[in-house]
Structure 1
Amino acid sequence: MSGKEVLRIEDLNVFYGAIHALKGISITVNEGEIVTLIGANGAGKSTTLNTICGLVKPKSGKIIFEGEDITGKPAHEIVKRGISQVPEGRRVFANMSVLENLELGAYLLKDKAEFKRRLNRVYERFPRLAERKGQLAGSLSGGEQQMLAMGRALMSAPRLMLLDEPSMGLAPLLVKEIFAIIKELNEQGTTILLVEQNAHMALSIAHKGYVLETGKIVLSGPARELAEDPQVKAAYLGG
């Protein structure tokens, strides 16, 4: 299933002032995988994603993407290399239209024909965005905003997609729909690193998982095994 290594994090340490947010974590993501980071609030999941995509600078450690050291590179450089993030809380541009939000996702792209191709692909995958392309993003429902945030990330044709809490604040039915879409994106070739508080849903679609507790990885393994692990069940699956 998994191809070559796409992302490797080695012994990453991140501080916020005096707070040691990430304590020497190491993670690998292989081509074609969905890898999930699960853990309680404040465990360091979002910090991990923000460090990968250049928004947070690590104190030490390495981030290797497709064999190249990208540690501490500026965020726009990292997008150029093929990593895009769907941020926590969706962060769509509320007073811009759906189409304008999608255009921003492809701001590095100069080829008009390729832009059209990508836009059509996003509209095929998210028909609701096509129906609402002229509407202000702020007027969309939570689920539609999540789809827009994912569509916007896809416009840069990423080889690695970072998803931060995609189910947050969504009704259970929508959570199912969003996770079905994530699975489909992966089956169509996008490698995904997923941060998610809904451990049950995350482990049901992931190939591999890491459990973060207060900045440390305490468990890792195939997602199926983690879902059956008594520790994980007790802490995260309401077992």
Structure 2
Amino acid sequence: MLRVNGLNVFYGNIHALRDISFNVEEGEVVTLIGANGAGKTTTLHSISGLTPSKSGEIQFLQKSLKGVSPNQIVQLGLGQVPEGRRIFANLTVLENLEMGAYIRKDKQQVKADYENVFARFPRLKERLKQIAGTLSGGEQQMLAIGRTLMSRPKLMLMDEPSMGLAPLLVKEIFEIIKEINRGGTTILLVEQNAHMALSIAHRAYVLETGKIVLEGPAKELAQNEQVRKAYLGG
């Protein structure tokens, strides 16, 4: 579904991504783990067209994304749940969800998708008219995921969904990610909580200073001594 090949990204003189290559197959949860500054968010931003690459190839559903604008990338079926949620704080919950569906013309199916979001996140239905900026952190994360689901993504990029959440809510969010995947959405997950990420992913890649240093089935990497020492507290 997604193929990244030889990707290089610079911020000025800083070589942020160094010749990285990986792929995501349809139906998978694939996770990128690594320390702060390893290049995880830059990778997602490059895929979704927000950060230009110096060289390399990104293909989604066998179509090159070179020169494709971020809004066209969403139309192709690639949605992103951004780091820090990035909800529209001054709009209501409903207006945020409407923004997620703004590119869609299939009005009947959009209605059905609202119901799907409300079934998954009953708290959002209770707070439809509430200003999104007044929601709790967990509710804002649910809204960010719900808003992306409204664009009907085939592949969902998720950037640090557990950031700043209490442990109980982290568990809930990861259960939701598993449900979304079981419902047919492929997921590329960037996550600081390596333990949780590896527990739900099919495969994983470890990024260090802009390079992929390890890859393999998530269960195997969770047992890898190097990974355990660096990311799983021994």
TM-score (norm 2): 0.99
For residues 60-117 of structure 1, what are the alpha-carbon distances to aligned partners after superposition, in whole Å with 9 as ceiling and x for unaligned? 0000000111124210010010000000000001110000000000001123212101
- Which residue type is aligned with residue 34 of structure 2? G
The aligned counterpart of 2:84 is 89
Structure 1: gaps spanning 5 or more residues: 1-5
1: CA distance between counterparts of 2:105 and 2:154?
A: 19
Residue 142 of structure 2 is aligned to residue 157 of structure 1: no
1: CA distance between counterparts of 2:182 and 2:198?
A: 16
1:111 aligned to 78, 83, 106, which one? 106
2: CA distance between counterparts of 1:176 and 1:22?
A: 31
Identity %: 68
2: CA distance between counterparts of 1:230 and 1:110?
A: 50
Moved beyond 2 Å, runs of 4+: none
Secondary structure at the counterpart of residue 225 of structure 1: helix
The aligned counterpart of 2:183 is 188
Does the 8 Å contact 1:95/1:138 carry over to 2? Answer: yes
Pairwise CA RMSD: 0.6
Does the 8 Å contact 1:199/1:237 carry over to 2? Answer: yes
Superposed displacement of residue 140, structure 1: 0.5
2:170 aligned to 162, 170, 175, which one? 175
Structure 2: gaps spanning 5 or more residues: none
The aligned counterpart of 2:93 is 98
TM-score (norm 1): 0.97
Does the 8 Å contact 1:58/1:72 carry over to 2? Answer: no
2:202 aligned to 207, 210, 217, which one? 207
Does the 8 Å contact 1:52/1:71 carry over to 2? Answer: no
Secondary structure at the counterpart of residue 173 of structure 2: helix
The aligned counterpart of 1:53 is 48
Superposed displacement of residue 132, structure 1: 0.5
The aligned counterpart of 1:66 is 61
Number of aligned residues: 234
For residues 159-200 of structure 1, what are the alpha-carbon distances to aligned partners after superposition, in whole Å with 9 as ceiling and x for unaligned? 000000000000000000000000010011110000000000
